[in-house]
Amino acid sequence: MATSEEKLLLSVSYEMEKFSNDWRHCDYSASYLAQLISSRATDPTKQSIMLSTVINELLEVIYHLKEKTRSLMIEIKDSGSDIIIDFCLSMSEKNQLLFNSFFSCNDAEQLKKVYLSELKRVVNNEEAHRFIGLYEIIADYDVQLSYQKKPEINILRMKLAA
C-alpha cells in the first residue's frame, strides 16, 4: 500500500509458478519496468540501466526462492526524493527465516564489508552467500533494502534516489 507521501506509479502482479518457469522473466521484467519508470526521468537511459540492474538482482533472488505456488506483486512508488519498489510475496517459513537473518544487520557499511568478504569467497572458488545479489545492490548502488513481514505477505522494499 502506498502511504500519503508515496504515490503509486505502477503495480504488476505475477503468478509465481509462471514467473518461475523461465529465467528470462527476470531480465524481461526488470528491463520493461525500468524503462517504464524511467521514461520521464531527467536521463532516461542512465536511470533505466541502473533500475534494471537492481530490479533484476532482486528478481533473480526471488526466482531462486522456488516459491512456485503463490503470487508476486511488484508496486512501484514515488516519494518525491526516492523511488520505492515493493516486492510483495508470500513465502515459506524457511525463506522467511533466511530474510530475517539477512536483514538482522541494517548497517550499510557493515553490509558492504560483508559483500567484500563474499566476493573473496567467489575469487577463492568457495560458495558465496545465496543473497550475494542483495549485498551487491546495497554496496554498489546505495540501495536501501528492508524486509517486512505482514500477515500472509512478506514485503521486500527497495528504495533508491530518484
Partner 1 sequence: MTYQVMYNQNDQMVTFTGCMRPQTQEELLEVNKTLAMAAEKAMGMLYLNFNRLEFINNMAFHEVMKHIGLIINAKPKLTIKIIISSVIPWSEKKMTWIKQFYDRISIEQYDNNFYPGQEVIENDHFIPVLRTQTKIIWAQEKKLLAEHGLKKGMSVADICCGVGDFISLVYQEFNPSQIIGIDHSKPNLNYARRIAEDNGLSDKLKYHYGDAGNLFFIRDNEFDFVTCRLSLQIFDKPELILKELHRICKPGGKIYLTNETYSKTLGYPQSEIISRTYEEASKMFKFLGMDLEFGPKMNSYLQDAHLKDIRIDPMMITTDSTSREDFKVVVESWRDYICNDLAIANKKDETYRKELTQGFNSHIRAIESKRGFASWPIWVASGTKS
- Spatial separation of the C-alpha atoms in residues 151 and 43, rounded to whole Å: 39
Sign of CA dihedral 121, 123, 128, 134: positive
Q: Which stretch binds partner 1 (CB under 8 A): 13-21, 47-55, 84-92, 98-106?
A: 47-55
Query: Least distance (Å) from partner 1 to the CB of residue 125?
Result: 7
* Residue from 16, 26, 83, 114 binding partner 1 (CB under 8 A): 26
Cβ-based nearer residue to partner 1, 40 or 66: 40
Phi/psi-derived region of residue 144, left when phi > 0, alpha when psi is between -120 and 50, beta in every other case: beta
Query: Least distance (Å) from partner 1 to the CB of residue 87?
Result: 17
CB 54 within 8 A of CB 38: no
104-143 positions binding partner 1, by CB under 8 A: 116, 119-120, 122-123, 125, 128, 132-133, 136, 140-141
53 binds partner 1 (CB under 8 A): yes
CB 88 within 8 A of CB 72: yes
Q: Which stretch binds partner 1 (CB under 8 A): 4-12, 19-27, 88-96, 98-106?
A: 19-27
- Spatial separation of the C-alpha atoms in residues 157 and 15, rounded to whole Å: 19
Three cell numbers, residue 137: 545492490
| Max CA distance (Å), the chain | 48
Binding residues for partner 1 (CB under 8 A) = 23-24, 26-27, 31, 40, 42-46, 49-50, 52-53, 56-57, 60, 116, 119-120, 122-123, 125, 128, 132-133, 136, 140-141
